[in-house]
Amino acid sequence: MPTRYVESARLPTDWGVFDMHGFEDASDNKEHVVLTMGDVSDGEPVLARVHSECLTGDALFSLRCDCGNQLEAGLKAISEAGRGALFYLRQEGRGIGLLNKIRAYKLQDAGADTVEANEQLGFGADMRDYSILGPMLEHLNIQQVRLMTNNPRKVAALEAAGVNVVERIPVHTDHNPHNEKYLKTKGAKLGHLFND
């Protein structure tokens, strides 16, 4: 099995104390984490967010995307529910990596949208792989999720990976002048849904 569990520890945050579970994907040596709160192994549907790494949005507060806002919204919703799981996958830039993401930003500065920029660099619009979730869900004994996402393709990908998605819950984030084109492209070209 390419993805293996490594260790767990407590992680206090502004949204409460989570348990952090570390996993390693032997196929590419990437390390992923799952933050859980409450009992997620009782067989009941688990409030979940599958979040792909976005260093620029999550840690550097970029206004070019809504990733940091979605991460915070996911942690807040889980905290308010008292139970849930946030899967943090190391798939920067929809799977193209940080340096290629910077190259894509340069193309966007010249007028390309996010999909066009990835394609001009020789990548698909979205290169993320959700099959790595299977071993994580199995280890945590999560059988059903109520998925916080605006991306119906993510729901389809999780279901194809054997995850029972019983509900899609929209994630509401703020729009700003820097991410307006990005969000429009997500809706028009990637099928993201931004309302209930």
SS3 176: coil
Domain presence at residue 160? yes
User: Are the beta carbons of 95 and 127 closer than 8 angstroms?
Assistant: yes
122 to each of 105, 117, 119, 126, how far by Cα in Å?
A: 14, 9, 5, 12
Domain presence at residue 13? yes
Q: CATH code at 179?
A: 3.40.50.10990
Q: Which residue has the tokens 């940091």?
A: 68
Annotated binding site: 49-54, 65, 67, 70, 92-94, 114, 149, 154
Domain presence at residue 142? yes
Annotated binding site for Zn(2+): 54, 65, 67
Instruction: Look at the pTM and tell me if it is higher than 0.85.
Output: yes
Domain total of the chain: 1
Domain presence at residue 195? no
Tally of residues, the chain: 196
In this predicted structure, the answer to whether residue 146 has a pLDDT above a threshold of 90 is yes
Catalytic residue numbers read 126, 128
* Tens of pLDDT, residues 14-27: 999 999 999 999 88
* Tens of pLDDT, residues 112-141: 988 888 899 999 888 888 888 888 999 999
Domain presence at residue 99? no
Domain presence at residue 111? no
Which region among 50-54, 87-91, 95-99, 160-164 has the lowest average model confidence (pLDDT)? 160-164
Percent of the chain beyond pLDDT 70? 87
Domain presence at residue 52? yes
Annotated binding site for GTP: 49-53, 70, 92-94, 114, 149, 154
